[in-house]
Structure 1
Amino acid sequence: MTLAFLKLHVAGHDFILIDQDRLDGSNVKYQPTQNGIAELILDRRCGVGGDGCIFMASTRDKGSAERSLSGRLFASDGRELPLSPDALLCIARLALDTGRSGTGTLHIQAPYTETVYELKTIDSRSFMFTLPYPRVQPLTLIVDGKTANAYRIQLGASYLVSCAVPNGPGSKRVRQALLAMGKTDAIPLMLRLHAKDIIRYVGPEKTDRMEGAVAAVLAAGFQGLTAEPVVPGLEGAIVAEWRGRGGAVSYASFPAVPDPNHAAGPATLIDRGRFWVNPDRNRGIQVVGKAEYVFDGNFDI
Protein backbone atom coordinates (compact mmCIF):
# COMPACT_ATOMS: atom_id res chain seq x y z
CA MET A 1 0.00 0.00 0.00
CA THR A 2 1.38 3.41 -1.00
CA LEU A 3 0.41 6.48 1.01
CA ALA A 4 0.75 10.02 -0.30
CA PHE A 5 1.74 12.42 2.47
CA LEU A 6 2.82 15.97 3.14
CA LYS A 7 5.20 17.14 5.82
CA LEU A 8 4.46 20.47 7.49
CA HIS A 9 5.92 22.24 10.47
CA VAL A 10 5.10 25.02 12.91
CA ALA A 11 8.43 26.58 13.94
CA GLY A 12 10.15 23.20 13.75
CA HIS A 13 7.32 21.18 15.34
CA ASP A 14 6.86 18.83 12.38
CA PHE A 15 3.90 16.69 11.36
CA ILE A 16 3.15 14.12 8.70
CA LEU A 17 -0.26 14.91 7.22
CA ILE A 18 -2.18 12.22 5.34
CA ASP A 19 -5.15 13.44 3.33
CA GLN A 20 -7.74 10.66 3.54
CA ASP A 21 -9.70 12.20 0.67
CA ARG A 22 -6.82 11.19 -1.63
CA LEU A 23 -6.53 7.59 -0.42
CA ASP A 24 -7.81 4.77 -2.57
CA GLY A 25 -7.75 1.48 -0.71
CA SER A 26 -10.32 -0.34 -2.82
CA ASN A 27 -7.72 -2.66 -4.41
CA VAL A 28 -5.65 -3.21 -1.28
CA LYS A 29 -6.07 -6.47 0.62
CA TYR A 30 -4.23 -5.30 3.73
CA GLN A 31 -5.57 -2.17 5.40
CA PRO A 32 -3.24 -1.03 8.21
CA THR A 33 -4.73 0.84 11.15
CA GLN A 34 -4.08 4.55 11.52
CA ASN A 35 -2.04 4.11 14.68
CA GLY A 36 0.02 1.43 12.92
CA ILE A 37 0.68 3.80 10.02
CA ALA A 38 1.73 6.51 12.48
CA GLU A 39 4.26 4.24 14.19
CA LEU A 40 5.89 3.36 10.86
CA ILE A 41 5.90 6.74 9.15
CA LEU A 42 7.00 8.78 12.20
CA ASP A 43 10.13 6.68 12.78
CA ARG A 44 13.01 9.09 12.12
CA ARG A 45 15.40 6.27 11.17
CA CYS A 46 13.30 3.91 9.06
CA GLY A 47 10.33 6.12 8.18
CA VAL A 48 9.83 9.74 7.20
CA GLY A 49 10.09 11.13 10.72
CA GLY A 50 7.97 13.63 12.59
CA ASP A 51 6.53 14.64 15.96
CA GLY A 52 2.98 13.63 15.04
CA CYS A 53 0.88 12.08 12.29
CA ILE A 54 -2.37 13.80 11.27
CA PHE A 55 -5.17 12.09 9.35
CA MET A 56 -7.37 14.72 7.73
CA ALA A 57 -10.75 14.11 6.10
CA SER A 58 -13.58 16.25 4.76
CA THR A 59 -17.29 15.53 4.44
CA ARG A 60 -20.15 17.48 2.93
CA ASP A 61 -23.03 18.09 5.31
CA LYS A 62 -26.46 17.02 4.11
CA GLY A 63 -28.56 19.93 2.94
CA SER A 64 -25.55 22.25 2.90
CA ALA A 65 -22.90 23.09 0.33
CA GLU A 66 -20.33 23.69 3.06
CA ARG A 67 -17.72 21.04 3.80
CA SER A 68 -16.72 20.13 7.33
CA LEU A 69 -13.23 18.96 8.23
CA SER A 70 -12.07 16.46 10.80
CA GLY A 71 -8.67 15.34 12.00
CA ARG A 72 -7.01 12.71 14.17
CA LEU A 73 -3.54 13.05 15.67
CA PHE A 74 -1.22 10.16 16.60
CA ALA A 75 2.15 10.05 18.36
CA SER A 76 5.15 7.99 17.22
CA ASP A 77 4.21 5.18 19.63
CA GLY A 78 0.72 4.87 18.12
CA ARG A 79 -1.15 6.69 20.90
CA GLU A 80 -3.96 8.97 19.75
CA LEU A 81 -3.63 12.50 21.08
CA PRO A 82 -6.09 15.39 21.28
CA LEU A 83 -5.79 17.77 18.34
CA SER A 84 -3.21 20.38 19.33
CA PRO A 85 -3.18 24.00 18.08
CA ASP A 86 -0.10 23.26 15.95
CA ALA A 87 -1.87 20.29 14.32
CA LEU A 88 -4.93 22.45 13.67
CA LEU A 89 -2.70 24.99 11.90
CA CYS A 90 -1.40 22.27 9.56
CA ILE A 91 -4.93 21.05 8.74
CA ALA A 92 -6.08 24.62 8.12
CA ARG A 93 -3.14 25.34 5.80
CA LEU A 94 -3.81 22.32 3.58
CA ALA A 95 -7.59 22.87 3.61
CA LEU A 96 -7.14 26.47 2.47
CA ASP A 97 -4.64 25.56 -0.25
CA THR A 98 -6.84 22.77 -1.64
CA GLY A 99 -10.02 24.85 -1.68
CA ARG A 100 -11.80 22.94 1.07
CA SER A 101 -12.30 26.02 3.21
CA GLY A 102 -13.32 29.59 2.64
CA THR A 103 -11.08 32.58 3.08
CA GLY A 104 -12.85 33.68 6.27
CA THR A 105 -13.23 31.03 8.96
CA LEU A 106 -12.50 27.32 9.09
CA HIS A 107 -14.16 24.69 11.30
CA ILE A 108 -12.45 21.43 12.31
CA GLN A 109 -14.30 18.65 14.13
CA ALA A 110 -12.46 16.89 16.96
CA PRO A 111 -12.78 13.06 16.99
CA TYR A 112 -15.22 11.32 19.36
CA THR A 113 -16.52 14.62 20.75
CA GLU A 114 -18.83 17.44 19.74
CA THR A 115 -15.97 19.94 19.97
CA VAL A 116 -15.53 22.06 16.84
CA TYR A 117 -12.47 24.29 16.58
CA GLU A 118 -12.79 27.59 14.73
CA LEU A 119 -9.80 29.19 13.02
CA LYS A 120 -9.82 32.58 11.33
CA THR A 121 -7.75 33.03 8.17
CA ILE A 122 -5.27 35.91 8.45
CA ASP A 123 -3.38 35.34 5.18
CA SER A 124 -2.41 32.42 2.92
CA ARG A 125 -0.46 30.63 5.67
CA SER A 126 -1.46 32.32 8.96
CA PHE A 127 -4.48 31.56 11.13
CA MET A 128 -5.93 32.86 14.38
CA PHE A 129 -7.07 30.46 17.06
CA THR A 130 -8.84 31.39 20.32
CA LEU A 131 -8.05 29.50 23.52
CA PRO A 132 -10.00 29.80 26.77
CA TYR A 133 -8.21 31.75 29.49
CA PRO A 134 -6.38 29.07 31.51
CA ARG A 135 -5.85 28.48 35.19
CA VAL A 136 -2.53 29.97 36.38
CA GLN A 137 -0.88 28.82 39.62
CA PRO A 138 2.04 30.94 40.93
CA LEU A 139 4.94 28.97 42.43
CA THR A 140 8.21 29.85 44.14
CA LEU A 141 11.47 28.12 43.24
CA ILE A 142 14.35 28.07 45.71
CA VAL A 143 17.58 27.42 43.82
CA ASP A 144 21.00 27.72 45.48
CA GLY A 145 19.42 29.64 48.35
CA LYS A 146 17.84 32.20 46.00
CA THR A 147 14.23 32.53 44.92
CA ALA A 148 12.72 32.65 41.44
CA ASN A 149 9.11 32.85 40.35
CA ALA A 150 7.47 30.10 38.32
CA TYR A 151 3.95 29.60 36.99
CA ARG A 152 2.01 26.43 36.32
CA ILE A 153 -0.32 27.15 33.39
CA GLN A 154 -2.94 24.59 32.38
CA LEU A 155 -3.77 24.64 28.67
CA GLY A 156 -4.15 21.48 26.57
CA ALA A 157 -1.02 20.39 28.43
CA SER A 158 0.40 21.64 31.72
CA TYR A 159 3.32 24.09 31.49
CA LEU A 160 5.87 25.20 34.07
CA VAL A 161 7.22 28.62 33.06
CA SER A 162 9.95 30.65 34.72
CA CYS A 163 12.36 33.46 33.98
CA ALA A 164 15.79 34.27 35.38
CA VAL A 165 15.78 37.65 37.17
CA PRO A 166 18.57 39.98 38.37
CA ASN A 167 20.10 38.93 41.71
CA GLY A 168 18.35 35.58 41.38
CA PRO A 169 19.61 32.14 40.38
CA GLY A 170 21.09 31.82 36.90
CA SER A 171 18.99 30.72 33.95
CA LYS A 172 20.82 27.38 33.68
CA ARG A 173 20.08 26.48 37.30
CA VAL A 174 16.46 27.64 37.00
CA ARG A 175 16.04 25.46 33.93
CA GLN A 176 17.47 22.46 35.79
CA ALA A 177 14.98 23.08 38.60
CA LEU A 178 12.12 23.26 36.10
CA LEU A 179 13.24 20.01 34.48
CA ALA A 180 13.25 18.34 37.90
CA MET A 181 9.73 19.63 38.60
CA GLY A 182 8.59 18.71 35.09
CA LYS A 183 9.24 15.01 35.65
CA THR A 184 5.59 14.76 36.66
CA ASP A 185 3.43 15.82 33.71
CA ALA A 186 4.29 19.48 33.10
CA ILE A 187 6.32 20.88 30.19
CA PRO A 188 9.13 23.21 31.38
CA LEU A 189 9.57 26.54 29.55
CA MET A 190 12.18 29.25 30.07
CA LEU A 191 11.55 32.79 28.88
CA ARG A 192 13.25 36.16 28.70
CA LEU A 193 12.40 39.62 27.42
CA HIS A 194 14.28 40.29 24.17
CA ALA A 195 12.86 43.71 23.33
CA LYS A 196 9.76 45.69 24.14
CA ASP A 197 6.79 43.29 24.01
CA ILE A 198 8.85 40.48 22.44
CA ILE A 199 9.03 37.40 24.65
CA ARG A 200 11.51 34.65 23.78
CA TYR A 201 10.82 31.17 25.11
CA VAL A 202 12.41 27.73 24.82
CA GLY A 203 11.45 24.24 25.94
CA PRO A 204 11.53 20.57 24.89
CA GLU A 205 11.56 19.90 21.14
CA LYS A 206 8.04 18.42 21.09
CA THR A 207 6.50 21.46 22.79
CA ASP A 208 3.36 22.69 21.05
CA ARG A 209 4.59 26.04 19.76
CA MET A 210 1.26 27.92 19.88
CA GLU A 211 0.37 26.76 23.39
CA GLY A 212 3.93 27.48 24.49
CA ALA A 213 3.64 31.02 23.14
CA VAL A 214 0.44 31.56 25.15
CA ALA A 215 2.04 30.18 28.33
CA ALA A 216 5.13 32.37 27.81
CA VAL A 217 3.14 35.59 27.35
CA LEU A 218 0.91 34.91 30.36
CA ALA A 219 3.89 34.11 32.60
CA ALA A 220 5.70 37.22 31.36
CA GLY A 221 2.68 39.32 32.30
CA PHE A 222 2.58 37.90 35.83
CA GLN A 223 6.34 38.39 36.09
CA GLY A 224 5.94 42.05 35.16
CA LEU A 225 8.04 41.80 32.00
CA THR A 226 5.27 43.10 29.76
CA ALA A 227 1.74 44.44 30.06
CA GLU A 228 -1.39 42.94 28.55
CA PRO A 229 -2.32 44.77 25.33
CA VAL A 230 -5.14 47.27 25.49
CA VAL A 231 -6.13 47.13 21.82
CA PRO A 232 -7.90 43.83 20.98
CA GLY A 233 -7.02 41.91 17.84
CA LEU A 234 -3.78 41.19 16.04
CA GLU A 235 -2.44 44.75 16.11
CA GLY A 236 -2.47 44.85 19.90
CA ALA A 237 -0.87 41.47 20.38
CA ILE A 238 2.43 40.65 22.07
CA VAL A 239 5.05 38.81 20.04
CA ALA A 240 6.27 35.49 21.44
CA GLU A 241 9.33 34.04 19.74
CA TRP A 242 10.28 30.36 19.93
CA ARG A 243 14.06 29.97 20.26
CA GLY A 244 14.38 26.19 20.30
CA ARG A 245 14.79 23.80 17.36
CA GLY A 246 13.30 25.30 14.20
CA GLY A 247 13.15 28.75 15.72
CA ALA A 248 14.87 30.77 13.01
CA VAL A 249 12.97 34.02 12.64
CA SER A 250 13.16 34.23 8.86
CA TYR A 251 14.52 32.55 5.76
CA ALA A 252 14.63 33.22 2.02
CA SER A 253 12.05 31.59 -0.26
CA PHE A 254 12.80 31.77 -3.99
CA PRO A 255 10.34 31.26 -6.87
CA ALA A 256 10.49 28.11 -8.97
CA VAL A 257 11.10 30.14 -12.15
CA PRO A 258 13.90 32.69 -11.55
CA ASP A 259 13.37 36.26 -12.63
CA PRO A 260 15.73 36.92 -15.58
CA ASN A 261 16.54 40.34 -14.10
CA HIS A 262 17.72 38.80 -10.83
CA ALA A 263 20.26 36.05 -10.31
CA ALA A 264 18.19 34.15 -7.76
CA GLY A 265 14.83 35.86 -7.86
CA PRO A 266 13.32 38.09 -5.16
CA ALA A 267 13.56 36.60 -1.68
CA THR A 268 10.58 36.44 0.65
CA LEU A 269 11.20 36.72 4.39
CA ILE A 270 8.97 34.44 6.45
CA ASP A 271 8.67 34.56 10.25
CA ARG A 272 9.07 30.97 11.41
CA GLY A 273 9.41 31.27 15.15
CA ARG A 274 7.08 34.15 15.96
CA PHE A 275 3.53 34.05 17.27
CA TRP A 276 1.16 36.89 18.11
CA VAL A 277 -0.72 36.53 21.40
CA ASN A 278 -3.51 38.76 22.67
CA PRO A 279 -4.75 37.65 26.11
CA ASP A 280 -8.21 38.76 27.19
CA ARG A 281 -9.87 37.32 30.30
CA ASN A 282 -13.36 37.86 28.89
CA ARG A 283 -12.99 36.88 25.23
CA GLY A 284 -10.24 34.28 25.57
CA ILE A 285 -6.69 34.29 24.26
CA GLN A 286 -6.20 35.02 20.57
CA VAL A 287 -3.03 33.54 19.10
CA VAL A 288 -1.82 33.72 15.49
CA GLY A 289 0.70 31.31 13.99
CA LYS A 290 1.90 29.95 10.66
CA ALA A 291 2.22 26.46 9.21
CA GLU A 292 4.81 25.85 6.49
CA TYR A 293 5.35 22.99 4.04
CA VAL A 294 8.55 20.96 4.20
CA PHE A 295 8.07 18.41 1.40
CA ASP A 296 5.66 15.80 0.07
CA GLY A 297 6.14 12.21 -1.06
CA ASN A 298 4.91 8.62 -1.00
CA PHE A 299 5.42 6.01 1.71
CA ASP A 300 5.13 2.26 1.07
CA ILE A 301 3.65 0.05 3.79
Structure 2
Amino acid sequence: MNRSYYAPTGGTPAQTQILTDRAVFTEAYAVIPKGVMMDIVTSFLPFWENTRLWVLSRPLSGFAETFSQYIMELAPGGGSDRPEPDASAEGVLFVVEGELTVMLDGAIHRMTPGGYAFLPPGSDWTARNRSGNPVRFHWIRKAYDAVDGLERPQPLFLNEADIAPTPMPGTDGKWATTRFVDPADLRHDMHVTIVTFEPGAVIPFAETHVMEHGLYVLEGKAVYRLNQDWVEVEAGDYMWLRAFCPQACYAGGPGKFRYLLYKDVNRHMKLRPRA
Protein backbone atom coordinates (compact mmCIF):
# COMPACT_ATOMS: atom_id res chain seq x y z
CA MET A 1 0.00 0.00 0.00
CA ASN A 2 1.61 3.22 -1.17
CA ARG A 3 0.84 6.27 0.95
CA SER A 4 1.67 9.91 0.45
CA TYR A 5 2.28 12.17 3.46
CA TYR A 6 2.90 15.87 2.96
CA ALA A 7 5.82 17.27 4.95
CA PRO A 8 6.91 20.92 5.07
CA THR A 9 10.44 21.83 4.05
CA GLY A 10 10.49 25.52 4.98
CA GLY A 11 12.18 28.13 2.85
CA THR A 12 11.73 31.89 2.60
CA PRO A 13 9.09 33.63 0.45
CA ALA A 14 10.32 35.81 -2.40
CA GLN A 15 9.98 39.58 -2.08
CA THR A 16 7.75 39.46 -5.18
CA GLN A 17 5.16 37.27 -3.47
CA ILE A 18 1.83 38.92 -2.65
CA LEU A 19 0.58 38.89 0.96
CA THR A 20 -2.86 37.46 0.25
CA ASP A 21 -3.14 33.94 1.71
CA ARG A 22 -5.66 31.54 3.23
CA ALA A 23 -4.48 31.85 6.84
CA VAL A 24 -7.29 32.74 9.26
CA PHE A 25 -7.83 32.70 13.01
CA THR A 26 -11.37 33.07 14.38
CA GLU A 27 -13.02 32.54 17.75
CA ALA A 28 -14.07 29.04 16.63
CA TYR A 29 -11.29 27.76 14.35
CA ALA A 30 -7.94 28.47 12.75
CA VAL A 31 -6.53 27.50 9.36
CA ILE A 32 -2.74 27.45 8.97
CA PRO A 33 -1.96 26.91 5.27
CA LYS A 34 1.15 25.02 4.22
CA GLY A 35 2.62 28.23 2.78
CA VAL A 36 2.87 29.69 6.28
CA MET A 37 5.37 27.03 7.39
CA MET A 38 8.49 28.92 6.37
CA ASP A 39 11.93 29.15 7.99
CA ILE A 40 11.10 32.39 9.81
CA VAL A 41 8.35 30.77 11.93
CA THR A 42 10.31 27.75 13.16
CA SER A 43 11.09 27.18 16.84
CA PHE A 44 13.75 25.33 18.82
CA LEU A 45 13.53 23.26 22.01
CA PRO A 46 15.87 22.65 24.96
CA PHE A 47 17.89 19.43 24.75
CA TRP A 48 17.05 18.83 21.06
CA GLU A 49 20.10 18.98 18.80
CA ASN A 50 20.04 19.74 15.04
CA THR A 51 16.28 20.08 15.32
CA ARG A 52 13.70 22.70 14.47
CA LEU A 53 9.92 22.60 14.57
CA TRP A 54 6.71 24.29 13.51
CA VAL A 55 4.24 24.77 16.36
CA LEU A 56 0.77 24.17 14.94
CA SER A 57 -1.26 24.44 18.13
CA ARG A 58 -0.93 25.04 21.86
CA PRO A 59 -3.47 25.31 24.68
CA LEU A 60 -5.16 28.73 24.64
CA SER A 61 -7.67 29.89 27.24
CA GLY A 62 -11.07 30.35 25.65
CA PHE A 63 -10.10 28.33 22.56
CA ALA A 64 -8.71 24.79 22.37
CA GLU A 65 -7.17 23.81 25.69
CA THR A 66 -6.27 20.12 25.68
CA PHE A 67 -3.24 19.65 23.44
CA SER A 68 -0.26 20.92 21.49
CA GLN A 69 0.93 19.75 18.09
CA TYR A 70 4.34 20.19 16.47
CA ILE A 71 5.92 19.21 13.18
CA MET A 72 9.47 18.22 14.09
CA GLU A 73 12.36 18.32 11.61
CA LEU A 74 15.56 16.48 12.56
CA ALA A 75 18.68 16.88 10.48
CA PRO A 76 20.98 13.83 10.20
CA GLY A 77 22.31 13.11 13.69
CA GLY A 78 19.63 15.29 15.29
CA GLY A 79 17.39 14.36 18.16
CA SER A 80 17.19 14.32 21.93
CA ASP A 81 18.02 12.16 24.93
CA ARG A 82 15.69 14.35 27.05
CA PRO A 83 12.76 14.95 24.71
CA GLU A 84 9.83 15.44 27.10
CA PRO A 85 10.31 17.72 30.12
CA ASP A 86 6.78 17.18 31.53
CA ALA A 87 6.32 13.88 33.36
CA SER A 88 2.53 14.23 33.15
CA ALA A 89 2.51 14.51 29.34
CA GLU A 90 1.57 11.67 27.05
CA GLY A 91 2.62 11.84 23.43
CA VAL A 92 1.91 10.56 19.94
CA LEU A 93 4.54 10.58 17.18
CA PHE A 94 3.56 10.15 13.53
CA VAL A 95 6.31 10.02 10.88
CA VAL A 96 5.65 11.69 7.52
CA GLU A 97 9.17 11.60 6.02
CA GLY A 98 12.42 9.77 6.72
CA GLU A 99 13.34 7.27 9.41
CA LEU A 100 13.15 8.05 13.12
CA THR A 101 14.84 5.88 15.73
CA VAL A 102 13.01 5.87 19.07
CA MET A 103 14.42 4.11 22.11
CA LEU A 104 11.92 3.32 24.85
CA ASP A 105 12.92 1.48 28.03
CA GLY A 106 15.99 0.10 26.26
CA ALA A 107 14.12 -1.19 23.19
CA ILE A 108 14.89 0.31 19.76
CA HIS A 109 12.04 1.16 17.36
CA ARG A 110 12.75 2.33 13.82
CA MET A 111 9.81 4.35 12.56
CA THR A 112 9.26 4.98 8.85
CA PRO A 113 6.54 7.02 7.08
CA GLY A 114 3.14 5.99 8.43
CA GLY A 115 4.76 5.01 11.72
CA TYR A 116 2.78 5.77 14.89
CA ALA A 117 4.00 5.71 18.48
CA PHE A 118 1.98 6.25 21.65
CA LEU A 119 4.19 7.25 24.59
CA PRO A 120 2.49 7.13 28.02
CA PRO A 121 3.22 9.82 30.62
CA GLY A 122 6.52 9.32 32.40
CA SER A 123 8.00 7.27 29.54
CA ASP A 124 11.77 6.96 29.35
CA TRP A 125 12.30 7.58 25.63
CA THR A 126 14.76 9.16 23.25
CA ALA A 127 14.51 10.15 19.57
CA ARG A 128 17.30 10.27 16.96
CA ASN A 129 17.77 10.63 13.24
CA ARG A 130 20.40 8.00 12.49
CA SER A 131 19.94 8.24 8.73
CA GLY A 132 21.59 10.52 6.18
CA ASN A 133 18.38 12.41 5.32
CA PRO A 134 16.04 14.73 7.24
CA VAL A 135 13.26 13.22 9.33
CA ARG A 136 9.92 14.97 9.75
CA PHE A 137 7.21 13.85 12.16
CA HIS A 138 4.24 15.12 14.11
CA TRP A 139 4.46 15.23 17.89
CA ILE A 140 1.14 15.63 19.70
CA ARG A 141 1.29 16.22 23.46
CA LYS A 142 -1.43 16.18 26.09
CA ALA A 143 -1.49 16.25 29.90
CA TYR A 144 -2.79 12.78 30.74
CA ASP A 145 -6.12 12.79 32.59
CA ALA A 146 -5.67 9.90 35.02
CA VAL A 147 -8.74 8.15 36.48
CA ASP A 148 -8.67 6.30 39.80
CA GLY A 149 -9.22 2.61 39.07
CA LEU A 150 -8.02 2.73 35.45
CA GLU A 151 -4.51 1.62 34.59
CA ARG A 152 -2.45 3.90 32.40
CA PRO A 153 -2.20 2.77 28.76
CA GLN A 154 0.87 0.93 27.51
CA PRO A 155 3.26 2.14 24.78
CA LEU A 156 2.37 1.36 21.18
CA PHE A 157 4.49 1.25 18.03
CA LEU A 158 2.44 0.66 14.88
CA ASN A 159 2.31 1.60 11.20
CA GLU A 160 -0.71 2.68 9.19
CA ALA A 161 0.20 0.19 6.46
CA ASP A 162 -0.59 -2.68 8.85
CA ILE A 163 -4.05 -1.45 9.93
CA ALA A 164 -7.25 -1.87 7.95
CA PRO A 165 -9.37 1.31 7.89
CA THR A 166 -12.82 1.10 9.50
CA PRO A 167 -15.55 2.29 7.10
CA MET A 168 -18.19 4.64 8.43
CA PRO A 169 -21.61 2.93 8.33
CA GLY A 170 -23.64 3.56 5.21
CA THR A 171 -20.77 5.05 3.18
CA ASP A 172 -19.74 2.00 1.11
CA GLY A 173 -16.18 2.56 2.34
CA LYS A 174 -15.94 6.05 0.87
CA TRP A 175 -15.37 7.53 4.36
CA ALA A 176 -13.12 5.50 6.65
CA THR A 177 -10.96 5.90 9.76
CA THR A 178 -7.65 4.21 10.49
CA ARG A 179 -7.60 3.70 14.27
CA PHE A 180 -4.37 3.00 16.14
CA VAL A 181 -6.19 2.58 19.47
CA ASP A 182 -9.36 0.63 20.30
CA PRO A 183 -12.12 3.25 20.86
CA ALA A 184 -13.48 1.10 23.71
CA ASP A 185 -10.17 1.26 25.62
CA LEU A 186 -11.06 3.85 28.26
CA ARG A 187 -7.49 4.09 29.49
CA HIS A 188 -6.89 6.42 26.56
CA ASP A 189 -8.05 10.04 26.88
CA MET A 190 -7.08 11.08 23.35
CA HIS A 191 -7.23 9.51 19.92
CA VAL A 192 -5.00 10.24 16.96
CA THR A 193 -6.39 8.66 13.81
CA ILE A 194 -6.23 9.00 10.02
CA VAL A 195 -9.46 9.87 8.21
CA THR A 196 -9.77 9.03 4.51
CA PHE A 197 -12.35 10.22 1.98
CA GLU A 198 -12.63 8.92 -1.54
CA PRO A 199 -13.10 11.61 -4.23
CA GLY A 200 -16.59 13.08 -3.92
CA ALA A 201 -17.24 11.65 -0.45
CA VAL A 202 -18.70 13.93 2.21
CA ILE A 203 -19.38 14.44 5.89
CA PRO A 204 -23.11 14.90 5.24
CA PHE A 205 -23.99 16.92 8.34
CA ALA A 206 -22.44 19.65 10.46
CA GLU A 207 -20.66 17.74 13.24
CA THR A 208 -21.02 19.76 16.45
CA HIS A 209 -19.45 18.17 19.50
CA VAL A 210 -17.36 18.69 22.61
CA MET A 211 -14.13 17.23 21.21
CA GLU A 212 -11.34 19.62 20.23
CA HIS A 213 -9.61 18.86 16.95
CA GLY A 214 -6.31 19.24 15.17
CA LEU A 215 -6.54 18.20 11.50
CA TYR A 216 -3.38 18.06 9.38
CA VAL A 217 -4.03 17.30 5.71
CA LEU A 218 -1.73 14.48 4.66
CA GLU A 219 -2.94 14.11 1.08
CA GLY A 220 -5.41 15.57 -1.41
CA LYS A 221 -7.77 18.53 -1.18
CA ALA A 222 -11.30 19.35 -0.05
CA VAL A 223 -13.75 22.06 0.81
CA TYR A 224 -14.16 22.06 4.57
CA ARG A 225 -17.02 23.58 6.57
CA LEU A 226 -15.72 25.37 9.69
CA ASN A 227 -18.37 27.11 11.78
CA GLN A 228 -20.37 29.09 9.18
CA ASP A 229 -17.56 29.22 6.58
CA TRP A 230 -16.49 26.95 3.73
CA VAL A 231 -12.72 26.94 3.17
CA GLU A 232 -10.52 25.17 0.65
CA VAL A 233 -7.76 23.04 2.14
CA GLU A 234 -5.00 20.93 0.61
CA ALA A 235 -2.12 18.68 1.62
CA GLY A 236 0.07 20.45 4.17
CA ASP A 237 -2.70 22.65 5.62
CA TYR A 238 -3.66 22.50 9.31
CA MET A 239 -7.07 23.13 10.86
CA TRP A 240 -7.47 23.77 14.57
CA LEU A 241 -10.98 23.60 16.05
CA ARG A 242 -12.26 24.49 19.49
CA ALA A 243 -15.05 22.46 21.10
CA PHE A 244 -18.49 22.67 19.43
CA CYS A 245 -17.21 24.25 16.20
CA PRO A 246 -19.52 22.86 13.46
CA GLN A 247 -17.62 20.97 10.76
CA ALA A 248 -18.26 19.05 7.56
CA CYS A 249 -16.47 18.50 4.24
CA TYR A 250 -16.64 17.61 0.56
CA ALA A 251 -13.61 15.71 -0.78
CA GLY A 252 -12.55 17.38 -4.00
CA GLY A 253 -10.58 14.69 -5.81
CA PRO A 254 -9.03 13.68 -8.10
CA GLY A 255 -7.31 11.54 -5.45
CA LYS A 256 -8.08 10.66 -1.84
CA PHE A 257 -8.45 13.33 0.83
CA ARG A 258 -6.70 12.23 4.03
CA TYR A 259 -5.87 13.92 7.32
CA LEU A 260 -4.27 13.17 10.66
CA LEU A 261 -6.88 13.87 13.35
CA TYR A 262 -6.49 14.61 17.07
CA LYS A 263 -9.42 14.57 19.49
CA ASP A 264 -9.87 14.35 23.27
CA VAL A 265 -12.10 11.47 24.45
CA ASN A 266 -13.35 9.28 27.30
CA ARG A 267 -13.37 11.67 30.24
CA HIS A 268 -15.92 13.52 32.36
CA MET A 269 -16.23 17.25 31.79
CA LYS A 270 -14.30 19.26 34.39
CA LEU A 271 -16.72 21.28 36.55
CA ARG A 272 -14.15 23.56 38.14
CA PRO A 273 -10.82 25.02 37.02
CA ARG A 274 -7.79 22.77 37.16
CA ALA A 275 -5.51 23.32 40.13
Instruction: Report the TM-score when normalising by structure 2.
Output: 0.30
Structure with more strand by fraction:
2
Which structure has the bigger radius of gyration? Answer: 1
Instruction: Report the TM-score when normalising by structure 1.
Output: 0.28
